[in-house]
Homo-oligomer: A and B are copies of this chain.
Amino acid sequence: MSLIDNAIHLPKEEMPRQWLNVLPQLPEPLGAYKAPDGSDMPPAALGAIFPPKLIEQEFSDQAQIPIPEPILEAYALWRPTPLVRAYGLEKALKVNSKIYYKNESLSPSGSHKSNTALAQAYYNHEAGIKRLTTETGAGQWGTALAIAAQRFGLDIRVFMVKVSLAQKPYRQAIMSLYGAEVLSSPTTLTQAGRAALEQNPLTPGSLGLAISEAVEEAAGRADTNYALGSVLNHVILHQTVIGQEIKKQLALVGQKPDYLVACHGGGSNFGGLAVPYVADVLAGQKIQLLAAEPAACPSLTKGVFGYDYGDMAKLTPLMPMYSLGSDFVPPAIHAGGLRYHGASPIVSSLVKSKIATPVAVSAQDAFQYAKLLAQTEYVVPAPESSHALALTCLKALELEKAGTPGVLVFVLSGHGLLDLSAYENAPD
């Protein structure tokens, strides 16, 4: 008997040695960021909260950026991640399509966020920074940055969205285990936090507000920088290892993708999947890039394209993006990582130029297919990832009905083991 390996493994030597920068490829150049007051903003203005290398990457015109060795060494702890053929799921759905998932849940933090967390911690450490502040929604980003800070010897303070902290107490425990200080946002430590509490003492908090708090503190301290887990160009850049690996893995089994699906909150997961395929789409290949966003926070499908702030207190630059408005407080859905009012400028540009297509997914579908994945593939997906999973399943069923099965790949951006309370209260 020969044993089937459901996973396509890339050898370590095949790990991507560079990140892919989509900026030079975009049909229309991204509009320049503007200062919060609307005036022109030189890149150097970001120096108050970011190290020089990340600012350089944010606006780079290089097509490829080599990954420094200390980051490659850290990636090698778990990368390349397997691309798994979901035979059990296909069978349960009774579809002839081939469904693959890229298992980013195997990282030290349990999600794809480690890809950029390690890069950001490294560049800050290189720049002599001793301390980072950040926000976290579901806790995946905070966990990833806590581990990355631990690896590169930085202290870290995490502003965690109040409602998420209450929903997911184990998140605080794991970030603390890795040495992070975790605060429930809004706090009374920042002007942004105090203002929000004054307006509504019972606010559940939001990612936009937690970002304001973390940025405000970092801007006010010379030894402290801020790190963002999504939205920005350099974050998406670091995530492009995902799409690059998928491409190599599909080539190993002689497959070409028809649909590539990732969840969309701020854009880092979707961007990391999509960017390596942008050139193929522009060259006319029939690949659909689908961004699965929650119906409860539909920034891409219902948002308006224009300049908006990345945070609630309007401390960040104005960026060209789809947005529901920087003062939008999304409902307390369990996919906390997708509770963001805006979308990254890069993903916004891909959607605007019709290279990528956004689809809103209901929480009900997300939970239903999450349960199916657990019971067929023995993997518990994060609520965020479940949106990509659900969209993939719905698409596979649609293809089956049309008699046109295809090859679908979704990113399992993280596991849901620290989100299990969500499953207890899941909508039926």
Contact = CB atoms under 8 A, between A and B. Distances in A.
Interface of A: 1-6, 12-13, 15, 69, 72-73, 76-77, 108, 110, 147, 150-151, 169-170, 173-174, 176-179, 371, 374-375, 378-380, 417-418, 420-421, 423-424
A177 B179 CA distance: 31
A39 to B, nearest CB: 43
Nearest to A173: B420
B5 A12 contact: yes
| Shortest 5 CB-CB contacts between residues of A and residues of B | A108-B378, A173-B420, A170-B420, A3-B76, A417-B417
Given A375-B178, A380-B174, A417-B170, A13 B2 contact: yes
Given A170-B420, A379-B108, A371 B177 contact: yes
Contacts of A2: 13
Contacts of A6: 76-77
B375 A417 contact: no
Nearest to A108: B378
A107 to B, nearest CB: 9
Given A3-B15, A77-B6, A179 B375 contact: yes
A423 to B, nearest CB: 5
B72 A1 contact: yes
Contacts of A173: 420-421, 423-424
Given A147-B378, A170-B417, A174-B423, 20 more contacts: A3-B12, A3-B15, A4-B73, A6-B77, A108-B379, A150-B375, A169-B421, A170-B170, A170-B420, A173-B420, A173-B421, A173-B424, A174-B380, A176-B423, A176-B424, A177-B374, A177-B375, A177-B420, A179-B375, A417-B418
Contact of A178 (B1, B150, B374, B418): B374
Contacts of A170: 170, 417-418, 420-421
Nearest to A169: B421
A5 B420 contact: no
23 contacts: A3-B13, A3-B15, A3-B73, A4-B73, A5-B76, A77-B378, A108-B378, A169-B421, A170-B170, A170-B417, A170-B420, A170-B421, A174-B380, A174-B420, A174-B423, A176-B424, A177-B371, A177-B375, A177-B380, A177-B420, A177-B423, A178-B374, A179-B375
A379 B300 CA distance: 36
Nearest to A426: B177
